């Protein structure tokens, strides 16, 4: 089946003619409006589109239609492996719904994040998924109050009080499961290692859960906050190890970034005498040295869940107050805590 003899790109009119329906029907199909369309017509349209190789111009559609079938994502740090897996999950869901994805990197800057969101709105996106850098709640609250704003889903890092639909890990439950494991392995001094947590919900929630657990279970430990890289962290770790010589110590990293800093800040000899664990992807942690016990958050599923929540608002007519989906993590035990 050929669009024309001149090898021009097939048009919506070509598709409509081949199927035997109006261009309005083809437009409804492209925008996911199947309510008044038979399954046979829908299947025939899909077949002809594939045979002709028709590719709709999404930007042009956005100018003409009430929906563009474009969604925007603002990511705190696209260079972070965890972030790339969030995007992978979002993209998988977008493919299933024939939605195009626009991604912007905030480079851990609140200013860049604000600019990203404004630019994505200028691109006529139907809604936004925001993996916030943190310390941007005031602006995001103001944005929520704008007239005719687009639906937003917060991903991984969320706002309190709850302002938008959100998807996060069950961070408190995850911390408890890891600490239960460490106590069962006989660790007597546990150190939670993190960069500063002000304005970043994940770091704050995990630290609070850690401190509550220590208090409730009479377990000894401390929180080690560092901000100038592995060298600064190495000094803090060295001091803690010296102060608690003779105890069975475990370093619990808040995320993969802190995990890498711990590995850089400690020698092979030091790591051989202590436990190490982290919030981290299993596939990365299991091949790090001797294998590092981790809490796998399944970021691909988190991304897919956030996309589904957004689509339910934008395309499926979901109403009601915003809600948060807290997804369980999975404890993966490797050699690093089996000492």
Q: In the prediction, which pLDDT does 4 show? A: 47
d(CA 339, CA 335): 7
Quote the pLDDT of residue 331. Answer: 98
Cis status, amide bond into 153, omega within 30 of 0: no
181 and 284 part of one domain: yes
Q: What is the pLDDT of residue 7?
A: 63
| CA dihedral sign, ordered 189, 190, 195, 201 | negative
Please say whether the beta carbons of 280 and 296 come within 8 A.
yes
Is 7 inside any structural domain? no
Number of domains in the chain: 3
Q: Please indicate, yes or no, whether residues 120 and 176 belong to a single structural domain of this protein.
A: no
The answer on 180 and 286 residing in a single domain is yes
**Beta carbons within 10 angstroms of residue 259's beta carbon:** 24
CA 265 – CA 167 distance, rounded (Å)? 33
- DSSP letters spanning 69-96: SEEEEEES-TTSHHHHHHHHHHHHHHHH
Residues 185 and 203 in one domain: yes
User: pLDDT tens digits, the chain, 339 residues: what are they?
Assistant: 555 445 678 888 899 999 998 877 887 788 777 766 888 898 999 999 999 888 876 655 554 557 889 999 999 999 988 999 999 999 999 999 989 999 999 999 999 999 999 999 999 999 999 999 999 999 999 999 988 789 999 999 999 899 999 999 999 999 999 999 999 999 999 999 999 999 999 999 999 999 999 999 989 999 999 987 777 899 999 999 999 999 999 999 999 999 999 999 999 999 999 999 999 999 999 999 889 999 999 999 999 999 999 999 999 999 999 999 999 999 999 999 998
Burial of 263 (0-12, 13-18, 19+ CB in 10 A): middle
């Amino acid at each position: 089946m050929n669009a024309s003899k001149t090898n021009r790109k097939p048009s919506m009119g070509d598709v409509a003619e081949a199927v035997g329906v109006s261009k309005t029907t083809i437009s409804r199909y492209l925008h996911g409006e199947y309510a008044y369309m038979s399954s046979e017509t829908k299947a025939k349209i899909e077949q002809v589109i594939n045979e002709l190789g028709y590719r709709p111009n999404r930007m042009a559609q956005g100018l003409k239609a009430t929906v563009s079938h474009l969604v925007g994502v603002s990511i705190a740090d696209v260079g972070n492996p965890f972030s790339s897996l969030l995007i992978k999950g979002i993209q998988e869901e977008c493919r299933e719904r024939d939605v195009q994805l626009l991604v912007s990197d905030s480079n851990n800057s609140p200013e860049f994040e604000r600019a990203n969101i404004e630019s994505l709105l200028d691109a006529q996106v139907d809604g936004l998924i925001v993996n916030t850098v943190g310390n941007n709640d005031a602006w995001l609250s103001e944005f929520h109050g704008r007239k005719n704003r687009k639906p937003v889903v917060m991903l991984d890092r969320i706002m309190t009080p709850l302002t938008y639909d959100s998807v996060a890990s069950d961070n408190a439950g995850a911390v408890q499961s890891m600490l239960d494991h460490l106590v069962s392995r006989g660790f007597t001094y546990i150190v939670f290692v993190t960069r500063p947590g002000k304005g970043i919900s994940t770091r704050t929630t995990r630290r609070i859960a850690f401190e509550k657990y220590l208090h409730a279970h009479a377990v000894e430990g401390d929180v080690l906050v560092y901000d100038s890289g592995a060298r600064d962290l190495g000094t803090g770790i060295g001091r803690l190890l010296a102060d608690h010589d003779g105890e069975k110590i475990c370093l619990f990293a808040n995320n993969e970034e802190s995990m890498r800093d711990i590995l850089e800040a400690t020698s092979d000899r030091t790591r051989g005498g202590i436990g190490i664990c982290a919030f981290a992807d299993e596939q990365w942690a299991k091949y790090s040295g001797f294998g590092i016990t981790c809490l796998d958050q399944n970021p691909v599923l988190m991304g897919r869940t956030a996309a589904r929540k957004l689509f339910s608002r934008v395309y499926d007519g979901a109403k009601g107050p915003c809600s948060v989906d807290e997804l369980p993590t999975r404890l993966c035990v490797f050699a690093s805590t089996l000492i």
